[in-house]
Structure 1
Amino acid sequence: MGLPIRLLPVTILAVMLLLTVKLGDIWQDVTRLGPAPLAAQQQQPNQPAQQPGQQPAPKAQSMPVPNSAAGGKDGEKPIDPILFSRSEIELLQELSRRREELDQREQTLAQKEGLLAAAEQRIEKKIGELASIRVDIESLIKKYNEQEEAELQRLMKIYEAMKPKDAAAIFNNLENEVLLQLLERMAERRVAPILADMDPKRAQQITSEIAARRQMPKLEEAAKQ
């Protein structure tokens, strides 16, 4: 136990020597700085005292803080992914996947709408072409009917000018449709002598068909009513 007692005076002596050296250094710094720095230090009590031999700290420049670190545009705190639980992360991943599917579906619908619009344009073009063709066909049919009517009127005048016996010989060999059209356009006073000179069976057949054709318009009118 004698060793610690002997070291105690030596330790105290060393501490006093260090304090003496420190006090001497501080006094030299105060003498070098003069009264002006002391006054400046008194005016700014909140600033920390500058260590001897330390360079003055430069003024901190304001650096822009990114939104992610500053908490976004509204000053909110940034979201730390570490704070999410596993279920929340899986939910976010599922929502992200669904969002991608919806975007893909929206693109597909947009493409289909474009295809439908193009198809509608082609259909409208075809309808216009068909309408033009229909007009042309109707014009041709009208022209054909006019030519046919003119030809029937010419033949009707020829047969009316013929003798009934000569006309009857020709009518016996004509097709029913052509013969009926001619007889319908001829005057009744011209038709009677021709039918009298025709073959009796042929004349009977033609007479029955003429009567049936005259009844058809009446039946059509009754059906419409």
Structure 2
Amino acid sequence: MVVALLLAGSAVLRLGDDAGRAYARVEAAGTEAPPPAPTGCTPPPDIAALLDAFRTREDRITRREAEIADRAQALSVADQAIARKLAALTEAEEKLRATLALADTAAEDDLNRLTAVYQNMKPAEAAALFEEMDPQFAAGFLGRMDPAAAAGVLAGLSPQTAYSVSVILAGRNANVPKD
């Protein structure tokens, strides 16, 4: 009986194993591969017109993007050129400012030196020079001089010249705003 049971169990196992393979063959035979996709399909006319419109639009957009890229490149080059020119202009402005400052200080230095020369001269010699100067010019130097030296020069001038220079000195700040 045991032997019969073992034989029956073996038969069931073999049938079950073959049955699975048989079922797989039946299912595979029933499922066919889909037909190959058509390669030369022509769309309906309304879709074809729409596709042509899309292609035309895509071409136009591509050209426009290329134009924009070219323009952006040109603007980049122009920006770089402007930046270089602006830097050069700033440098030139700084040099000009330095030159003007030098010119201003040079003129002021020259006036200070000449004033010191007149101030160190003997009053009679300086008065002879100031007598020949334009009263405006003479007043400018006398206004810069030490008061004691200016008094000595003014005392050596003729009364008319001394008066003219004194009036100019007295009135040169008359129009300054009084806050």
2:75 matched to which residue of 1? 112
1:82 matched to which residue of 2? 43
> How does the TM-score come out when normalised to structure 2?
0.59
Q: Is 2:115 aligned against 1:152?
A: yes
SS at structure 2 position matched to 1:85: helix
Query: How far apart in 2 are the matches of 1:144 and 1:198?
Result: 27
The CA deviation string for residues 72-103 of structure 1, in whole angstroms up to 9 with x for no partner, is: xxxxxx9x673423255235413421331232
Aligned to 1:162, which of 110, 123, 142?
Answer: 123
Q: Is 2:177 aligned against 1:214?
A: no
2:19 matched to which residue of 1? none
Query: How far apart in 1 are the matches of 2:152 and 2:66?
Result: 89
Whose helix fraction is larger, Structure 1's or Structure 2's?
Answer: 2
1:134 matched to which residue of 2? 97
Q: 1:211, CA displacement in angstroms?
A: 1.7
Query: How far apart in 2 are the matches of 1:143 and 1:171?
Result: 23
Aligned to 1:185, which of 132, 144, 149?
Answer: 144
1:174 matched to which residue of 2? 133
Aligned residues: 145
Aligned to 1:124, which of 83, 87, 92?
Answer: 87
2:16 matched to which residue of 1? none
2:65 matched to which residue of 1? 102
Q: 1:136, CA displacement in angstroms?
A: 4.0
Asked if 1 retains the 8 angstrom alpha-carbon contact of 2:127 and 2:153, the reply is yes
Q: Partner amino acid for 2:73?
A: A
Query: How far apart in 2 are the matches of 1:115 and 1:175?
Result: 57
Structure of larger gyration radius? 1
Gap regions ≥5 residues in structure 2? 1-24, 30-35
Q: Partner amino acid for 1:120?
A: A
SS at structure 2 position matched to 1:82: coil
